[in-house]
Amino acid sequence: MKLGFFTANFTEMPLPTVAKMAAEYGYETLEIPAYEGNGQFEPADMLKPGKAAEIRKMAAGFGLDICALSNHSDSFLIMGPTGVETDFIHKGSPEEKVRHGTERLILTAQAANALEVPVVVGYPGVENWGRFFFFPYGQGWAEYEKQFADRFIPILDKFKEYGVKFAIEIHPNSFVYDTLTAEKALEVVDKHPALGYNLDPANVLYLKLSAELLIDRLADRIYHVHAKDAELVEHNLPLGGVLMQGDMRRIDRSYRFRVPGWGEVNWKKIITELSMVGYTGPLSYEHEDVTMSRMDGVEKVAAYLKPLLIKNPYEGRKDKLFDRT
Amino acid sequence: MKLGFFTANFTEMPLPTVAKMAAEYGYETLEIPAYEGNGQFEPADMLKPGKAAEIRKMAAGFGLDICALSNHSDSFLIMGPTGVETDFIHKGSPEEKVRHGTERLILTAQAANALEVPVVVGYPGVENWGRFFFFPYGQGWAEYEKQFADRFIPILDKFKEYGVKFAIEIHPNSFVYDTLTAEKALEVVDKHPALGYNLDPANVLYLKLSAELLIDRLADRIYHVHAKDAELVEHNLPLGGVLMQGDMRRIDRSYRFRVPGWGEVNWKKIITELSMVGYTGPLSYEHEDVTMSRMDGVEKVAAYLKPLLIKNPYEGRKDKLFDRT
Amino acid sequence: MKLGFFTANFTEMPLPTVAKMAAEYGYETLEIPAYEGNGQFEPADMLKPGKAAEIRKMAAGFGLDICALSNHSDSFLIMGPTGVETDFIHKGSPEEKVRHGTERLILTAQAANALEVPVVVGYPGVENWGRFFFFPYGQGWAEYEKQFADRFIPILDKFKEYGVKFAIEIHPNSFVYDTLTAEKALEVVDKHPALGYNLDPANVLYLKLSAELLIDRLADRIYHVHAKDAELVEHNLPLGGVLMQGDMRRIDRSYRFRVPGWGEVNWKKIITELSMVGYTGPLSYEHEDVTMSRMDGVEKVAAYLKPLLIKNPYEGRKDKLFDRT
Amino acid sequence: MKLGFFTANFTEMPLPTVAKMAAEYGYETLEIPAYEGNGQFEPADMLKPGKAAEIRKMAAGFGLDICALSNHSDSFLIMGPTGVETDFIHKGSPEEKVRHGTERLILTAQAANALEVPVVVGYPGVENWGRFFFFPYGQGWAEYEKQFADRFIPILDKFKEYGVKFAIEIHPNSFVYDTLTAEKALEVVDKHPALGYNLDPANVLYLKLSAELLIDRLADRIYHVHAKDAELVEHNLPLGGVLMQGDMRRIDRSYRFRVPGWGEVNWKKIITELSMVGYTGPLSYEHEDVTMSRMDGVEKVAAYLKPLLIKNPYEGRKDKLFDRT
Amino acid sequence: MKLGFFTANFTEMPLPTVAKMAAEYGYETLEIPAYEGNGQFEPADMLKPGKAAEIRKMAAGFGLDICALSNHSDSFLIMGPTGVETDFIHKGSPEEKVRHGTERLILTAQAANALEVPVVVGYPGVENWGRFFFFPYGQGWAEYEKQFADRFIPILDKFKEYGVKFAIEIHPNSFVYDTLTAEKALEVVDKHPALGYNLDPANVLYLKLSAELLIDRLADRIYHVHAKDAELVEHNLPLGGVLMQGDMRRIDRSYRFRVPGWGEVNWKKIITELSMVGYTGPLSYEHEDVTMSRMDGVEKVAAYLKPLLIKNPYEGRKDKLFDRT
Amino acid sequence: MKLGFFTANFTEMPLPTVAKMAAEYGYETLEIPAYEGNGQFEPADMLKPGKAAEIRKMAAGFGLDICALSNHSDSFLIMGPTGVETDFIHKGSPEEKVRHGTERLILTAQAANALEVPVVVGYPGVENWGRFFFFPYGQGWAEYEKQFADRFIPILDKFKEYGVKFAIEIHPNSFVYDTLTAEKALEVVDKHPALGYNLDPANVLYLKLSAELLIDRLADRIYHVHAKDAELVEHNLPLGGVLMQGDMRRIDRSYRFRVPGWGEVNWKKIITELSMVGYTGPLSYEHEDVTMSRMDGVEKVAAYLKPLLIKNPYEGRKDKLFDRT
């Protein structure tokens, strides 16, 4: 495993500036944003001659590689919501939104191919997440399953063609939000080889499901991991519950995103299971912690997580007492 | 408090048959379904001469009164979803659905007025519940708040005119799903005197919020309480989490509705807080328990809950040691 | 074990009225208040010819015996506080208060002797409970230990003379408030045979100590048990903590007394340990529950506790497989 | 489900006396001991003309049927321990012990056949349970697996021939002690149709595994259930742990058997899962509770468990809102 | 936030020696004892010409500033106990004790003014803490509230005059011991601008209240924070409970003070809430841990706490996806 | 306390190589394997002239001392199992096995004497651990107690003669597996001065007993401590329970050994209690963690544990407020 840095933490800075800072603090690999208008990186540029090589050289100059391009925005349009909710991503009719999301996600894969980056992270979106509940229209979720196959198999075929994997970030308000929906998504695309997941433990913590079991089940379909944590604020839970709305910065929030080590996620157990299923990719630090500055995060996350990374699996003890099988 | 019986538990039987059975098992008051096509009760009938008196006489004949009419179906259309999801309730364009929901809810209030029933239970619905989460369009919830005021203030005014209260059932996949959204709904209609809530503890259990605190906060705006429980199946939680989909009857469900006393709800604490805020209404038994027959429920719920009902608040101990203030 | 009834629950009624009611609900034995001015029973009367026999006959007429006289008030003066705090018990100088407490407690023992009642319940009091903490003057507690011996050995000798046992109620704000102080009190009076305890589980619950272990340790020095429970109101604990002040009726109380079965006490475990150490005395119901009427309590406590009383210890299974020792 | 009574609770009484008592307290079915020298029932007698009919008639006369014969003793010899440990069962060389166990178990099946009793309960035993641990000889367990197949397949074939099922009681110090060993045992006998289990929740509680999951997994291989509970005595656990030795009656025991409702087993959840997998057999009360007399148990168990038995599975609500699939 | 060092940890050493050691281990600011006879610092000296400047220069020479003067001793006399308990602080009649406490506290404020130190830490004391409990004289607490106002408003006025704040250490056996009493104290002095608090999390842990909520509620009235932890020794709790007396060094203590990171306090959550309410003061290490040497503490506390200090609040992510409001 | 290194972690390397590596990572003392055929160290060699001095010199050359010789293998034969289970240790008849174990353990003590090493670690073994359970032959454990005395008193006398202590590793499947059996073992050898224990917290974790209490009780009989941890894998526990068999590397294991800091052991509490009872020996790192390489362990354990070692007990604060006794 490697310690990664999501450069979108500092979109106001140029990519080389962020890369330099990441390297100085001990991060080893970069995740770079690729959604439209992120202000730091435009995937279309990678298709121009020499551009991709230039970026790779810049990263290598700091001793870094690039583990993923991330499209957390455009890709959401592929299954929606396609109403006013997503105008900040791209304005247009539902059809135009779907098309935009599809084209931009494919473009991101092309850029990844050019950069020799193995993974693209993104969301499928979902038109109405409320359908997960059986009332009033739980059966409608099946329609989304069909829709997912219809819209994503062509995209995944393109990914396969480009030699790039698509890692869906498991996330609330999206077609894939827990272990079982992740398994279902694989099933409806016939276990398409290009499809896998980005596990962000902070996104599943509130469900009371086990992120460790999620890892054991999805195993080699985990293509990327976000180093993000979430905190349950015990004294606010009796009032707010785990689906509380409102600004993350509210002092009475019952649930808020944190940097790793400051929330309820047990990182040693996460890292252990990842190691057990053979994961060798990044733990990529994304800052959505509203209680401390990003520079606090940059420093604290590296200090906390890097010593925990398991470098190699167990090789046995070469001992009369232990190796008798 | 009284032990209530929701007659929709047995929609295949005529109302008098259900009333007789409820009375025999010790239930004291009836909640009657009023949504279109429930097969047991049509609110429009109550507006015909003599009809309401006949129903009341039938109930009284079994020693019962009627505590509420419930419209868990049509009312959902008022804020949606207004797409295919709700065609089973009423087919039509979004506008037709909203109109249908609005008219039927008002009709229910008229029937309640005719029957001298104080409370109508229902849902507001919500077009896309996924907006509760801040991504991609959390600010869109504010639009629903405006919509709630626009659509419900006229309805609540009608309720007030008829001398009937509207109790929104706090419920997932709806505009009001926890303590804070219930308080917000009251705020956006300027604490309209006709608006209050139906607490179904099984509907909020999974949120980890405190139903007891919900009672303390909503206090005299609690107009109705459902006697329904929910069970967390511990060995299924690591995989299924609390938002698991699928048939309630799956052996691997992590969360399923139960009759009171068979789930995680602490009914003594619920009853205590209700008593503390002066609630004197029903605990109305609704059967959605997939693990036992309805007759199992009828018998077990009465045996379990009736001895727990607090009859009167504390009157002091009339003692030198305790009443010195 | 027997189900007892503390008649001070209804001091506004005459003793026979309360006794009759207790018997009707299935209670088997009475605990009667004996502190000055309780309005129901005056111990000095028992020393008059025929009076004690009359009371016993009255109780027997309802099928009841008398398990204890309780002096929860005067006895508090023996170690204080002897300032204004206890003027409601008896006005006077500290010396007069100590004398009053001492005399009334001895009088109570005389009455118990006359009534052939085996146990008197009371408090030792303590001048300043704050000394339990090591700052600023933890060593001052040792002075209280000496004071306890000085003041109580003569009293206990009187008790012995009358054939009556003194059961100190383990209680906050008193010289004996937990297992270790109870053991210490026995030690400083050289395990005086007249000294033992009244366990009221509600009084020790908040300490996180184990009432079951308390029973195992104090064993045959447990002379009386109060059937009283206490509830921790989880959503109020983050603010109020376990030493919260204020009216028990506050909706935001974090800790409140309850009738048995409605709080956190595990009565099955309490009854089990009592049975294991050979206790055969009463579980005496005292009502300090502010959330329900006393008649709610009378009914609910009998229904809840009586079926739990263990009638006999295990006698072995007379079986080849189990009785081989 | 039915409430059962294991007549070995009172081996000092004749069978009809126990049957009469069980019936009077509301028990519905009998489990009868069949091991050598139990003092109450000898299986060989059932092979004599008319004897079986006589026993069945006696039970029927009290409104009872017979759900199982139990051989908790002889059957232990089949896999051992075959040393001095089991001389109280049957003295002899290891070979003689194995033969005795085998013959008596087969005899019990013949008696069950004669009595038309569907199930025989027993243990397989195990020579050295310490082999469950990987050191020093964890691989030795595999030898027991082979031994189990070798010794039990012929026995199970006999059971099949007699139309009787063999229910192994899952139990510490035996070849089958948890869910996984139960599944393994089925596997090594090729899922022999005569093999299933007796679940005694008290026997698995200390393992921290889930008895509910055990039920879901073994499902239709659960042939019998013991109504026995176990209590963890919290204040003794820090010293004693869950494998503490010594007399169950020690006041400092950390783990002791109890009657249902007095330990840590959640009977509602147990009954729910049993119902979900279609179990319709007995919950058979076995008394090993050292804290209360057997008559305490007889009374308390019937009062506690009988109202919890689920009579029928859910049949649906026949409702527009719920039955739309 | 800054890492502070309470120099009273080593009163046997001169102040400069302690300051030097603190600086060498990475501490950034000093809290200095100012109670009579502490052996290290005499506040009256600060009023002599040049003395205050000398001390400040000494501290600055080690790169340190001074965050607080602490009077944990004399100030206790202001509300008592004024009997023998406090003779070790100052001998005299109750009136003399109150006067001494008052004068010394004001002197401490004058010294702070001279030193340009913003905060003085102290206790109000309380005559009889046992009054927090409603029996026998809970209403007597109100007298203390009046007394607090009478005795402290003049003192607080002096503090205001000197430009110094008074931080009451929330502490057992004192007028302010939890969140609600802290709020009450502010209320009875009309939110006097000079009054605030020193939070020592170890002092409130045993109450089961939330130190995090305490921070949210008291917010900008938190003037100082002690870095002290407390450990609940689980295996001793069943016997000792949370109010156990006796030497902290007893091996069977159930509760003992510890250095930060070695007890039950969640320092990340404490630091988070402090940061959220804008606290920028010290976490001042006070050693009362009886299980390790002070030098163990000096080293371990700096290593543990310093990397956890949050340097700046969140400034936003400057990102299309996150900063849309 | 010192950080120790068990050189058997790398039996495939020569002792000096391992010692060098241990020293480089900050370990301070060595535990060396002494069982037959360990491939790294043969105790008989130590009896040859100059050999012991050579080894000590080698260790000292790296700044290390030697804290223990460990015989985890031969010593197991002394009480068995003496069947096929232990042929991998030494083939032979039961008598030969017992003799071999006894002689090798004594030889190890001789080697320790020669090396001036104070402690030998080993197991007593046990023929059939299943006897800990009361059925079928719990009384048989008493035979093992007698056997322990018979076989070990002569051995312990030899140890005493050589000035070496014998530390039994508390361990499942052995005569001493928890606190009470450890106390019993001391009792049956009349508290022989040579007998004490090696605490490996990972070996007792699953019992739910308290390792901290074990330390307080065994106190100065703790001669050695293993730095080994164990992890309960929550999502596997419902199926596997705590006695699950099978390869530690199974992804569905419910319990697996880990390096310190990666399991459920609270090392700060362990170290605190050890310090409180005056333990000054090693925490010796043994690697049985199947989830990470041994080099991961070497690095992570030193980084985690070394800063936690308590260097000195508390010496008091030399303060008017704290040292008044």
Q: Is the CB of residue D1 less than 8 Å from the CB of residue D271?
A: yes
Across the interface, whether the CB atoms of E296 and F317 are under 8 A apart is answered no
Query: Is the Cα torsion angle C209, C210, C216, C222 positive or negative in sign?
Result: positive
Please report the pLDDT score of residue F4 as a whole number.
98
- This model of the complex carries an ipTM of 0.91
Q: Which of B134, B323, B324, B325 to mutate to test the interface with E (most CBs of E within 10 A)?
A: B324
pLDDT, residue F324, reads 56
User: Chain A partners of B209 at a C-beta cutoff of 8 Å?
Assistant: 237-242, 254
CA torsion, ordered B232, B236, B241, B242, to nearest 10 deg: -20
Long-range CB contacts for residues D48-57, cutoff 8 Å, separation at least 24: D51/D114, D52/D111, D52/D114, D52/D115, D52/D116, D55/D15, D55/D115, D56/D115, D56/D116
pLDDT value at position B324? 55
Report chain C residues whose CB lies below 8 A from the CB of E187: none
Collect all residues of chain F within an 8 Å Cβ-Cβ radius of residue C317.
none
Residues 175-234 of E with CB under 8 A from A: 210, 212-213, 216
Q: What does DSSP assign to residue C82?
A: -
- Three-class DSSP category at B166: strand
Q: CB A239 to CB B179 under 8 A?
A: yes
Q: How far is CA C129 from the centre of its chain?
A: 19
B10 closest CA partner among D315, E244, E27: D315
- Chain-chain contact of B312 with C291 (C-beta, under 8 angstroms): no
- Give mean pLDDT, residues A245-272: 93
Contacts of residue F49, defined as CB under 8 A and 6 or more positions apart, other chains included, come to none
D88 touches chain A (CB under 8 A): no
Q: What is the mean predicted confidence (pLDDT) over E214-219?
A: 96
Q: Which of A81, A137, A254 minimises the CB distance to B137?
A: A81
Q: Please report which helix (H) or strand (E) contains residue B181, including its range.
A: helix B179-188
Q: A322 to chain F: nearest residue by CA? A: F288
- The pLDDT tens digits for E256-292 are 999 999 999 999 999 999 999 999 999 999 999 999 9
Range of weakest confidence among A81-85, C88-92, E300-304: A81-85
Positions of chain B with pLDDT lower than 50, given as ranges: 325
Which contiguous run of DSSP H or E holds residue B154?
helix B141-162
pLDDT of residue E126: 95
Q: How confident is the model over F87-132, as pLDDT tens digits?
A: 999 999 999 999 999 999 999 999 999 999 999 999 999 999 999 8
Looking at residue D318, its pLDDT comes to 76
Q: Are F86 and F133 in contact (CB under 8 A)?
A: no
Give the phi and the psi of residue C5 in degrees, each rounded to 5.
-135, 125
Q: What is the pLDDT of residue E323?
A: 63
The SS3 assignment for A167 reads: strand
Rounded to 10 degrees, the C-alpha dihedral E122/E128/E133/E139 comes to -100
User: Within an 8 Å CB–CB cutoff, is residue B300 touching chain D?
Assistant: yes
Task: Count CB pairs under 8 A between chains C and F.
Answer: 6
Helix (H) or strand (E) holding A282: strand A282-285
Q: What tokens were used for A178?
A: 């827990």
CA-based nearest distance B272→chain A, Å = 17
Cα distance from B62 to chain D (closest Cα, Å)? 23
| Chain centroid, CA B193 distance in Å | 18
| Positions of E strands within chain D | 2-6, 29-33, 65-71, 119-122, 165-169, 195-199, 222-227, 229-232, 255-258, 282-285
Tokens at C164, concatenated: 């009556």
Cβ separation of B238 and F239 shorter than 8 Å?
A: no
**Torsion angle defined by CA atoms of residues A127, A133, A136 and A137, in that order, rounded to the nearest 10 degrees:** 50
- Residues from chain F that touch A321, judged by Cβ atoms under 8 A, are 8, 35, 72-73
Residue of A nearest to C240 (CA): A235
Can you tell me the mean pLDDT for D272-277?
96
Averaged pLDDT, C275-298: 96
Q: Which amino acid is at D150?
A: D
CA-nearest of E185, E195, E184, E125 to E160 is E195
Integer Cα distance of F124 and F171 in angstroms: 10
Q: What is d(CA B249, CA C299) in angstroms, rounded to the nearest whole number?
A: 38
Interface contact A246, partner E, CB < 8 A: no
CA distances from C169 to C71, C92, C245, E268, F298 (A): 10, 25, 21, 42, 57
Among A242-251, C293-302, D80-89, the range with the most confident prediction by mean pLDDT is C293-302
Residue numbers in A near F88 (CB within 8 A): 320, 324
pLDDT digits (tens, 9 = 90+) for D87-113: 999 999 999 999 999 999 999 999 999
B81: preceding bond cis by omega (within 30 degrees):
yes
In this prediction, residues E14-29 reach a mean pLDDT of: 98
DSSP 8-state assignment for residue F243: T
- For residues A254 and A232, the answer to whether their CB atoms sit within 8 Å is yes
Give pLDDT tens digits along chain F (325 positions): 999 999 999 999 999 999 999 999 999 999 999 999 999 999 999 999 999 999 999 999 999 999 999 999 999 999 999 999 899 999 999 999 999 999 999 999 999 999 999 999 999 999 999 998 888 888 889 999 999 999 999 999 999 999 999 999 999 999 999 999 999 999 999 999 999 999 999 999 989 899 999 999 999 999 999 999 999 999 999 988 888 888 888 899 999 999 999 999 999 999 999 999 999 999 999 999 999 999 999 999 999 999 999 999 998 887 777 765 4
| pLDDT band at residue D134 under the 50/70/90 scheme | confident
Interface contact C65, partner E, CB < 8 A: no
Residue A324's pLDDT is what? 56
Neighbours of A315 (CB within 10 A): 10
Put simply, the answer to whether C209 touches E238 (Cβ < 8 Å) is yes
Tokens 């008291």, residue located: E218
Residues C39, C318: contact at Cβ < 8 Å?
Answer: no
User: pLDDT digit string (tens) for E31-84?
Assistant: 999 999 999 999 999 999 999 999 999 999 999 999 999 999 999 999 999 998
Q: Chain E: nearest CA to F250, how far in angstroms? A: 33
The count of CB pairs under 8 A between chains A and D is 6
Residue A93 has pLDDT above 90, yes or no: yes
Confidence tier at D276 by pLDDT (50, 70, 90): very high
In order of B20, C9, C31, E132, the CA distances from C5 in angstroms are 39, 8, 6, 29
Residue F238 touches partner B, C-beta closer than 8 Å = yes
Torsional sign, CA F33, F36, F41, F43: positive
pLDDT exceeds cutoff 70 at D15:
yes
Shortest distance between the Cα of C237 and any Cα of chain A, in A, equals 9
Q: Which chain F residues touch C135 with a CB distance below 8 Å?
A: 321
Question: CB atoms < 10 A from the CB of A132, how many?
Answer: 24
Please tell me which chains touch F, using 3 or more CB pairs under 8 Å as the contact test: A, B, C, D, E
- For the ranges C207-221, D190-204, D298-312, E124-138, the lowest mean pLDDT is seen at E124-138
Q: In chain A, whose CA is at the least distance from the CA of E312? A: A293
Give the C-alpha separation, A184 to A44, whole Å: 32
Rounded Cα gap, residues B60 and D214, in angstroms = 49
Give the percent of chain D with pLDDT over 90.
Answer: 86
Name every chain C residue with its beta carbon within 8 A of the beta carbon of A235. 238-239
Does E313 lie at the interface with C, CB-CB under 8 angstroms?
no
CA of C295 vs chain B CAs: smallest distance (Å): 8
Is A68:A284 a contact under the CB 8 Å cutoff? yes
| Burial class of residue D312 (count of CB atoms within 10 Å of its CB; 0-12, 13-18, 19+) | exposed
E139 CB near a chain B CB, below 8 Å? Answer: yes
CA distance F254 to F248: 9
Indicate if the pLDDT at residue D325 is higher than 70: no
Assigned token pair, B230: 């929910």
Encode B83-115: b = buried (16+ Cβ within 10 Å), e = exposed. eebbeebbeeeeeebbebbbebbbbbbbbbbbb
Distance of CA E14 to the CA centre of its chain: 22
Contacts of A119 (CB under 8 A, 6+ apart): A67, A68, A69, A112, A164, A165, A166, A167, A223, A224, A281
F269 — contact with chain E (CB < 8 Å)?
Answer: yes
Identify which of E39, E288, E294 has the shortest CB distance to residue F315: E294
Q: How many helices (H) and strands (E) does chain E have?
A: 9, 10
> Is the full-model pTM beyond 0.95?
no
Q: What is the mean pLDDT of chain A?
A: 94
Give me the mean pLDDT over the D296-303 stretch.
96
B312:C289 CB<8 A: no
D–E interface: beta-carbon pairs under 8 A = 7
Chain B to chain E, count of Cβ pairs less than 8 Å apart? 6
Does the pLDDT value for residue D263 go beyond 50? yes
**CB < 8 Å from F in window 2-31 of D:** none
Q: Do F276 and E251 touch (CB under 8 A)?
A: yes
Instruction: State the nearest Cα–Cα gap between A25 and chain B, in angstroms.
Output: 30
List of chain E residues whose C-beta atoms are within 8 Å of the C-beta of residue F276: 251, 291
Residue B232 is classified by DSSP as E
Who among C313, C314, C318 is closest to D12 (CB)? C318
Pairing type for strands A282-285 and A2-6 reads parallel
pLDDT at position F323, please?
63
Q: Read out DSSP for D187-253?
A: HHTTT-TTEEEEE-GGGTGGGT--HHHHHHHHGGGEEEEEE-EEEE-GGGHHHH-TT--S-TT-TT-
Which helix (H) or strand (E) segment holds residue F121: the answer is strand F119-122
pLDDT of residue D156: 98
Give the helix, strand, coil percentages of chain E, each rounded to 5: 45, 15, 40
